[in-house]
């Protein structure tokens, strides 16, 4: 009986893992409270539609010049999970 119980306990150990929080406070779908998000799209030189997000500070005045940077996501990534996080953090610094 003890052997059977020990076998059952040992058999379940590999299947029970305590997950460690590796996020370090990040949010893959971060949304800034300081920015307005505008969807933009245009055709490239090959007539393919390019879609992206434009982040503008909420306190932006029409006609006001602001610094700009284009952040492209890695191939195979979802823009809302990679490039958007960096773009928003950079835009917050300019606001």
Q: Please report, for the chain, the start and end positions of each structural domain, with discontinuous segments joined by +.
A: 32-95
Classify residue 91 as exposed, middle or buried by CB count within 10 Å of its CB (0-12, 13-18, 19+).
buried
Displacement of CA 45 from its chain's centroid (Å): 28
- All residues at 6 or more sequence positions from 26 whose CB lies less than 8 Å from its CB, including other chains: 85
The whole-number pLDDT of residue 95 equals: 67
Res 1 pLDDT > 70: no
Residue 7 has pLDDT above 90, yes or no: no
Cβ neighbours around 55 below 10 Å, total: 22
Q: Provide the 10 A C-beta neighbour count for residue 84.
A: 22
User: Does residue 27 or residue 16 have the better pLDDT?
Assistant: 27
pLDDT of 28-55, one tens digit each? Answer: 677 889 999 999 999 999 999 888 889 9
Burial degree of 56 (CB within 10 A; 0-12, 13-18, 19+):
middle
Judged against a pLDDT cut of 60, whether residue 15 lies above it is answered with no
């Amino acid at each position: 009986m003890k052997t059977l119980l020990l076998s059952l306990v040992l058999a379940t150990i590999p299947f029970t893992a305590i997950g460690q929080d590796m996020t370090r406070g990040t949010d893959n779908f971060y949304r800034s409270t300081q920015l307005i998000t505008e969807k933009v799209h245009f055709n490239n030189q090959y007539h393919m539609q390019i879609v992206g997000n434009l982040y503008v500070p909420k306190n932006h005045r029409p006609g006001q010049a602001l610094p700009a940077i284009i952040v492209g996501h890695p191939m195979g990534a979802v823009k809302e999970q990679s490039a958007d996080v960096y773009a928003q953090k950079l835009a917050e610094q300019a606001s």
